[in-house]
Amino acid sequence: MAFVSVPKDLTKVKTKVIFNLTKRQLICIGIAAAFGVPFYFLTRGVLGTSNAATGMVLLMLPAFLFAMYEKDGMPLEKVLLNIIRVKFLNPGIRPYETENLYSVLTEAEENSERK
């Protein structure tokens, strides 16, 4: 009898399309190939094979990161957006400060006594 493991959290299951890749991954890899492969073929005569291949890899790397990287179930663009929000858009640490009414009253009392 064959046994199939069923994941406990079915929200983490992703639909695979081709080559065990999701639709998002296929689109990102297609974009990477659309930029990287022509770059390689157009520059290998000028730069040489090794340098053209290195340039192709560097050009394709961001698309692969957007396709494959996930942290806590969030894709890379959401992680980067959260980092930008926390570091730059939202204010920093805001300490809780209260207005001490007792000190205001004592200062007012001292000022009235001096007059």
Q: Residue 17's closest CA among 58, 51, 67? A: 67
The answer to whether the pTM exceeds 0.85 is no
The answer to whether position 46 is within a domain reads yes
The answer to whether position 112 is within a domain reads no
Say if CB 63 and CB 39 are below 8 A apart: no
The answer to whether position 104 is within a domain reads no
Taking residues 42-68, what's their average pLDDT? 94
State which residues form the domain around 24.
15-93
The answer to whether position 5 is within a domain reads no
The answer to whether position 114 is within a domain reads no
Say if CB 69 and CB 75 are below 8 A apart: yes
More confident residue, 1 or 64: 64
